Amino acid sequence: MRTELRSILINPYTGNRPDLRDGALVDPETRERFPVIGGIPIMLREQEVEGLNRLYQRRYDSLSPFYDFFMTTVARLLRADAVFGEITEAMDVRSGDRVLETSVGTGRQIKSIIDHGMAADQFVGLDISMGMLRKCQRNMRNWRHPLDLVQGNAEFLPFADDTFDVVLHIGGINFFNDKERAILEMVRVARPGARLYIGDETEKQLQEQPSLINRFYQKPDAGTYASPVDLVPDTMEKIDNRELWDGKMYLISFQKPA
Ligand SMILES: C[S@@+](CC[C@H](N)C(=O)[O-])C[C@H]1O[C@@H](n2cnc3c(N)ncnc32)[C@H](O)[C@@H]1O
């Protein structure tokens, strides 16, 4: 684990900054231990992952060996491979930025940002699925780009307040237990003046994609595929809610007041 990552981590349940002791991060007050395995700190209480978060953690763990194959072959047939570029072009990432993606998956959105020549200073990726993170770690080695990875729940981010210049989330929030909490956490870890982006699929994509893919997902409630723009705090600036990918994806962008 790089010092650049360790210096921004907190215990997500107490807010304390952990010390590194015998290969684990330890809360100095409560002594709670967060192991670091293969360079990836595990910053969540596994026994407290429940509901939809638990369901999708397991499903993505099982899917992780095949996820990239699926995205590069089946998704090409569905013309889904262009979507990462469309999202990236809607983003503002600058040199010197510290960027966080919550639900980084296998790193495909970060790769698109790098391929677009947006050279941030540090990329950090968090995901609840260790399978996806391991795949992401291998991808980044092949792509020869450093990315600091953390296992965690997007609803309890293990990062200090006011840390990142850009905070993004693509493709998981529709099925989170608590969308509002995840958005408030993104805001908390964003620096004053930071740019934030939240995107996921719309109802149109649900209707158009093959039913085989829909079987991967839990039967949606009314509102599952609606943009959660109303959950963005009113205190944020430049709130924009647009549709990309021919209306099959929403992308919310906003800025934390400087
Ligand atoms: C469709 S993938 C998107 C991955 C990546 N952002 C991309 O665009 O390719 C959804 C990801 O959300 C992650 N995820 C689901 N629930 C989560 C949660 N509560 N906290 C963090 N990640 C979560 C899954 O493990 C999975 O990697």
- Averaged pLDDT for residues 52-70: 92
Q: Can you give the pLDDT at residue 85? A: 87
Residue 256 has pLDDT above 80, yes or no: yes
Residue 101 has pLDDT above 90, yes or no: yes
Q: Can you give the pLDDT at residue 223? A: 86
Residue 146 has pLDDT above 90, yes or no: no
pLDDT tens for each residue of 188-202: 999 999 999 999 999
Q: Which of 62, 127, 136, 186 to mutate to test the pocket of ligand 1 (most atoms within 8 A of CB)?
A: 127
Residue 138 has pLDDT above 70, yes or no: yes
> Which CATH code, of 2.30.40.10, 2.40.100.10, 3.40.50.150, 3.40.50.1820, is assigned to 40-255?
3.40.50.150
Q: What pTM did the predictor assign?
A: 0.95
56 lines ligand 1 (CB under 6 A): yes
pLDDT tens for each residue of 109-132: 999 999 998 888 999 999 999 999
Q: What is the 3-state secondary structure (H, E, C) of the chain?
A: CCHHHHCCECCCCCCCCCEEECCEEECCCCCCEEEEECCEEECCCHHHCCHHHHHHHHHHHHHHHHHHHHHHCHHHHCCCCCHHHHHHHCCCCCCCCEEEEECCCCCHHHHHHHHCCCCCCEEEEEECCHHHHHHHHHHHHHHCCCCEEEECECCECCECCCCEEEEEEECCHHHCCCHHHHHHHHHHHEEEEEEEEEEEECHHHHHHCCHHHHCCCCCCCCCCCCCHHHHCCCCCEEEEEEEEHHHCEEEEEEECCC
- Between the CA of 22 and the centroid of ligand 1 the distance, in Å, is 30
Q: What percent of the chain has pLDDT over 90?
A: 78
